Amino acid sequence: DQLESTEQVIFSMARWVEVKDPYTEGHLRRIAGYSERIAEELGLSVAERRIVRYAGILHDIGKIAIRDSILSKPGPLTDDEQAELRRHTDHGAAIIAPLRFAGEVAPIIRAHHEHWDGRGYPQGLRGEDIPIGARIVAVVDAWDAMTTDRPYRRSLDRAEAIRRLRAGAGPQWDA
């Protein structure tokens, strides 16, 4: 019971990230749902789909440690601000470390900004060295970011978002 209560606190903390930023309202629910459905289409087991769903909910929990002025900045980030924002993946993995599912979920949280060509962060993983759950969450996260309004730009229409995903298939995302 204690473990379950701790997990509920962590999931609530993930929701705090959304509350801090009105542009991300519903983001975690969408990422979790889309990621789980893609995992199912790819033939992942029920247990693997649950892990991908948890990672979708928790993928940005590390943003709790990022200054609000960076998260809501309406223009481009400075190099220092970008470096701070990129640390959210490591912060997220550390935040969930005490949980019983951390061994499976933390690598996804940490790697959801890795790129297929190795140019992502934080580790510069490439190709199949990136956990499948992180590859799924990365595509879904990009889709959601493109198709919702953000402080720095309006949402893209569906056709443009699809075009950008296809253009990034290979260099950025697992095709």
Q: Which residues are catalytic?
A: 63
Token duo for residue 21: 């930023």
Distances in whole angstroms, Cα of residue 77 to Cα of each of 63, 72, 82, 120, 143 = 15, 10, 6, 17, 21
The 8-class DSSP code of residue 154 comes to P
Largest CA distance in the chain: 47
Residues with Cβ within 8 Å of 142's Cβ and at least 6 positions away in sequence, in order, are: 164, 165, 168, 172, 173
Distance CA 18, CA 56 (A): 13
Distance CA 116, CA 132 (A): 11
